[in-house]
A and B are shown apart, each in its own frame.
Chain A
């Protein structure tokens, strides 16, 4: 298993991102953590492609993901900005309008 160290790194990054997403209270920080998880996924794609000797496909997919991540970040930040403008709140615990 040549890709094992990279996979472990990717898993660690993903866990870090997930932890941050679930615990950070600032919207922008949460968004950043989501980006970390996405990065972990990209890394894993490249690692798997390499391990499977299928060079090209994995990298192409990773590139698409990078573009997607950029778009996601733009949309996400746009949403955060709009939310802050509308409500004046930028912290997760303040945005509980759908509470049951």
Chain B
């Protein structure tokens, strides 16, 4: 353990080796390959626990990289409290997801590929949280993005999955381009990219440049965490296997944006503009995504928009500088949202459908799934004493102090949160079964992880003070007023949904009109993007292709060829096969040459 604490880079190296080993030995091991792959998250978990016990000041390893003359970038690992906490979260969720996947993916022909990618993702995620500088962080950041792409498109023969993978990759990279620019600007201005030097950076940068750098880096976080206006890739990402959604698109990778801003806290602290943007983006996204979630008919889409909304809560907290609260919510959210996703996976496994209208009454047929799901749902809704209540209370209280308007927005979003999750619960687990399959409880390999995560969703709230102390801040007591209002709102939303969906799906929702249709379609954001961004870009690309490639490059190449042929044709006219013509030319040439020689030798 102490060895791990001293060498935290092992948390990156071991999963990487495991990923390679899974690829190499996959065929030989057969189904047992999953157990080998589980070594990867286990090493994250072990390192995280070791670091929790060790000194949190950060025992950084630092090696020069990309040396150019006397400039170099120092990359290394930084095992502080935040990194340790993230390692534990990622390790536990990844372990549970892998275990769940053994059952869920049992019959899939891509079994080995799946576990290799999950192991690789563990390595990348460990690299992301342990990175001691922005460059190493960016490398890991891109690597988790690549894993996400590969896993969304895991069933690549399905056109919608392939399209969703490309969409996710492109949209997040809009943000990543900004992030790259931000890091470059930061390096040019300060000559340093280490996170340790961040505290002194704002003074060196000046207010204006600090804001620009912070906003560019924020763009990367917005893309990764699916915040408005780059939120629309996450619902499509549900094309991937459900356990992947639980791990990458709910608990860990999408939370990386929150982690990034928490890491860059000195930068955002120094720029009121950048913090304001974070707050506005977070609060707006939290409410917007929650409104969309209430109208979704696909159980995974409900959870996807719920994730966007919850990440909005965290961003709002980051915007008022309460990054410890955001991380606390990140931890509890990782637990209950991974639980909800795996629960949805279990339901999908049992019923063969993702539509809420095909479910109903599953509590009797899948009791353990139902109980754990309800624990996750109550945690998400923020009902005490579950984990979500505590973390959401800290977040909402902090935001209310910073900006009452944003705080009220979050309270409204909490109301909607309770509504949509109660709606999904009512439609899936209660009433009578409406589907055609014969649902059955999943095997212990799947219900086991559900149980573990449910324990987290129920009890993690108690870990709040410990987490805040780990992040070097004093824990705050529950704000009773905020808590009472939030809980009352949540109960109101939940009870209303329970009453409205008591008789199964509301028929009007099947063929939505007006506002409900707008909500179900995510306000037509996809269409707008297609119309105002994708189409102009495609038109521009088409034009650039015609003009730049076809006309200029191909034109030049083909033109040179055509010119040579033309010249050749002209010269060929001289060679007409008439011997007398040749003789005449020789005669003329002789006369010319002799004349020239005479004239020159005059």
A56-100 contact mask (Cβ, 8 Å, vs B): 1 or 0: 000000000000000000000000000000000000110111111
A30 on the B face (CB < 8 A): yes
12 more A-B residue pairs beyond the given contacts A22-B580, A92-B580, with a C-beta to C-beta distance below 8 A: A21-B580, A21-B583, A22-B583, A22-B584, A30-B580, A92-B579, A93-B578, A96-B576, A96-B578, A98-B575, A99-B577, A100-B575
Q: Is B574 an interface residue (CB 8 A)?
A: yes
Residue pair A92, B578 in contact (C-beta under 8 Å):
yes
Residues of A with C-beta under 8 A to B578: 92-93, 96, 99
B580 proximity list for chain A (CB < 8 A): 21-23, 30, 92
Size band of the B side of the interface?
10 to 19
Q: A30 to B572: give the CA distance in the assembly, Å.
A: 25
A-B contact pairs, 27 of them (CB 8 A): A18-B587, A21-B580, A21-B583, A22-B580, A22-B583, A23-B580, A30-B580, A92-B578, A92-B579, A92-B580, A93-B578, A95-B577, A95-B579, A96-B577, A96-B578, A97-B577, A98-B575, A98-B577, A99-B575, A99-B576, A99-B577, A99-B578, A100-B571, A100-B572, A100-B573, A100-B574, A100-B576
User: Closest CB of chain A to B359's CB: distance in Å?
Assistant: 82
The distance in angstroms between the C-alpha atoms of A22 and B585, with both chains bound, is 10
- Chain A residue with Cβ nearest B576: A99
Q: Considering the complex, give the chain A residue whose CB is closest to the CB of B584.
A: A22
Find residues 577-602 in chain B having any chain A CB closer than 8 Å to their own CB.
577-580, 583-584, 587
**Inter-chain contacts of A95 with B (CB < 8 A):** 577, 579
In the complex, what residue of chain A is closest to B571 when comparing beta carbons? A100
Q: Cβ of A92: which chain B residues have Cβ within 8 Å of it?
A: 578-580
On chain B, the residues within 8 Å of A18 by CB distance are 587
Indicate with 1 or 0, residue by residue over A32-75, a CB within 8 angstroms of chain B CB atoms: 00000000000000000000000000000000000000000000
> Once bound together, how far apart are the Cα atoms of A97 and B579, in whole Å?
10
Q: Which residues of A contact B573 (CB under 8 A)?
A: 100
- Complex contacts, A23 vs chain B, CB 8 Å: 580
Chain B nearest CB from A1 CB (Å) reads: 18
Say whether B587 contacts A22, CB under 8 Å: yes
Majority SS at the chain B contact face: helix
A99 to B572, CA, bound (A): 8
CA distance A95 to B581 in the complex (A): 12
Closest 6 CB pairs of A and B: A99-B577, A96-B577, A100-B575, A100-B572, A22-B584, A98-B577
Q: Which residue of B lies closest to A34 (CB)?
A: B583
Cα A100 to Cα B572 with chains together (Å): 5
Residue of B nearest to A21 (CB): B583
Against B, the Cβ 8 Å flags (1 = close, 0 = not) of A12-36 are: 0000001001110000001000000
Residues of A with C-beta under 8 A to B576: 96, 99-100
Tell me which residues across on chain A come within 8 A of B583, comparing CB atoms: 21-22
Write the nearest CB–CB distance from A72 to chain B, whole angstroms. 15
Nearest chain B CB to A27 CB, angstrom units: 9
Interface pair B579/A100, CB less than 8 Å apart: no
Within 8 A of A (CB), among B53-99: none
Nearest chain A CB to B581's CB is how many angstroms away?
8
Chain A CB within 10 A, most for which of B571, B576, B580? B580
CA distance in complex: A99, B581 (Å): 11
* Chain A residues near B572 (CB-CB < 8 A): 100
Identify the closest chain B residue to A18 (Cβ). Answer: B587
Return chain A residues, CB-CB under 8 Å to B579: 92, 95
Give per-residue flags for B212-256: 1 if the beta carbon is below 8 A from chain A beta carbons, else 0: 000000000000000000000000000000000000000000000
Asked if residues A100 and B577 are in contact (CB atoms below 8 Å), the reply is: yes
A30 to B583, CA, bound (A): 11
A21 to chain B: which residues have CB within 8 Å? 580, 583
Q: Whole-angstrom distance between the alpha carbons of A100 and B573 in the complex?
A: 7
Closest A residue to B572 by beta carbon equals A100
* CA gap between A99 and B574 in the complex, in Å: 9
List of B residues within 8 angstroms of A99 by Cβ: 575-578
In the bound complex, CA of A30 to CA of B587 (Å): 15
Please report the C-alpha to C-alpha distance between residue A99 and residue B580 in the assembled complex, in whole angstroms: 12
CA distance A18 to B572 in the complex (A): 25
Q: When chains A and B are docked, how far (Å) is the Cα of A61 from the Cα of B335?
A: 115
Distance (Å) between the CB of A57 and the closest chain B CB? 24
Looking at the assembled complex, report how far the CB atom of A48 sits from the nearest CB atom of chain B, in whole angstroms. Answer: 17
Q: Report the minimal beta-carbon distance from B585 to chain A, rounded to whole angstroms.
A: 10
CB distance from A75 to the nearest CB of B (A): 16
Closest chain A CB from B308 CB (angstroms): 73
Contact with A along B549-585 (1 / 0, CB 8 A): 0000000000000000000000111111111100110
Contacts of B571 in A (CB 8 A): 100
CB of B457 to closest CB in A, whole Å? 87
The interface residues of chain B lying within 8 Å CB-to-CB of A30 are 580
Find the A residue at minimum CB distance from B575: A100
Shortest A38–chain B CB gap in Å is: 15
In whole Å, how far is A96's beta carbon from the nearest beta carbon of chain B?
Answer: 3
A37 to B574, CA, bound (A): 25
Cα(A92)–Cα(B580), bound, Å: 8
Shortest B131–chain A CB gap in Å is 70
Query: With the chains together, A95 CA to B580 CA distance in Å?
Result: 11
Contacts of A100 in B (CB 8 A): 571-577
Would you give the shortest CB distance from A79 to chain B, in whole angstroms?
A: 12
CA distance A92 to B582 in the complex (A): 12
Nearest Cβ distance between residue A94 and chain B, in whole angstroms? 10
What CA separation (Å) do A82 and B577 show in the bound complex? 19
Tell me which residues across on chain B come within 8 A of A93, comparing CB atoms: 578
Whole-angstrom distance from the CB of A2 to the nearest CB of chain B?
23
Quote the shortest CB–CB distance from B321 to chain A (angstroms): 84
Q: How far is the CA of A80 from the CA of B417 in the complex (A)?
A: 106
Give the CA-CA distance A99 to B579 in the complex, in Å. 10
Of B576, B579, B583, the most chain A CB neighbours within 10 A belong to B579
* Chain A residues whose CB sits within 8 angstroms of the CB of B584 once the complex forms: 22
Q: Closest approach, in angstroms, between the C-beta of B588 and any C-beta of chain A?
A: 10
Among A18, A30, A100, which residue has the most Cβ atoms of chain B within 10 A? A100
How many Å from the CB of A90 to the closest CB on chain B? 13
In the complex the two chains form, what is the Cα distance from A21 to B571 in whole Å? 24
Q: Smallest Cβ distance from A19 to chain B, in angstroms?
A: 10
